[in-house]
Amino acid sequence: MAVGIFDSGLGGLTVLDAVVRRLPEVPFVYLGDNAHTPYGVRDAQDVYDLTTAATQRLFDAGCDLVILACNTASAAALRRMQESWVPSDKRVLGVFVPLIEALTERRWGDNSPPREVAVKDVALFATPATVRSRAFQRELAFRAIGVDVEAQACGGVVDAIEDGDLILAEALVRSHVDALLRKMPEPQAAILGCTHYPLMQDVFQAALGPDVQVYSQADLVAESLADYLTRYPHRIGAGHEAAFLTTGNPARVSDKATQFLKRRITFQSA
């Protein structure tokens, strides 16, 4: 009865931590493609190939449902995977959905025409690949009208977080926020469109100011997954053992993950 959680590196651990707290009875198999991180600087085909390979590994581990806890994979690969690759008895979901549900205050299954929403000016902070894909803007346009999205590619932030250099990460966040505010001086809301960014949420909030509502993904994804599994309990796969898998060096990734979550995490080779 395992559910798979995939990320290109360590960022998805923020999502894993939230879903484990929300669904403690569900075993999760986490796979980090640490050998190929970061995805945010790769082209769409490369991201697709890496994401499908990782997702297949999670299917093989007994997960019938896989969450792409990686915005770059969700943006560059998910739609293509769902249309032409995912087997009929499996499901792969991304992390944009809960964000857009929260922003538009409508359920994903609501297929009524786009309508006005309260928030008109939205700042999107994401990796270069996610920004290039325009996936967030595309999905938002299906559900809302009159929303102006200003995207800022946050180069270097993921690398700094993965390297444990939070001083550099904080400086980069402030620089990227300054760059966005020059283009959109008064955003009403900000989307942290990378699962690494919750670790910097306080820095984003401080740089943006108290009047900007900052949407982070981990808790939104956890609530959305809990709702999904209530409606589709048969989507929990056959696996029964929780596990942490990596394509990188297990000892090195375990040490980084332990620092990341501040509790001991032990990875195995994928």
Residue 154 annotated in active site: no
Active-site residue among 123, 194, 208, 236? 194
Contact residues for 152 (Cβ-Cβ < 8 A; gap 6+): 123, 124, 125, 126, 131, 176, 177, 179, 180, 183
Q: DSSP 3-state assignment of 32?
A: strand
Residues 6+ apart with CB under 8 A from 219: 18
Per the CB < 8 A criterion, the answer to whether 149 and 122 are in contact is: yes
Structure tokens at 226: 């809990």
Residue among 10, 69, 70, 222 flagged as catalytic: 70
Per-residue exposure over 124-137, b if at least 16 CB sit within 10 Å of its own CB, e if not: bbbbbbbbbbebbe
Q: What residues have CB less than 8 Å from 44, skipping those under 6 apart?
A: 76, 77, 129, 133
Q: Is 235 exposed, middle or buried (0-12, 13-18, 19+ CB in 10 A)?
A: middle
CA distance 246 to 226: 25
Judge residue 239's burial from the number of C-beta atoms within 10 Å of its C-beta, 0-12 exposed, 13-18 middle, 19 or more buried.
Answer: buried
Q: Backbone phi, then psi, for 213, in 5-degree steps? A: -80, 120
Active site residues: 70, 194
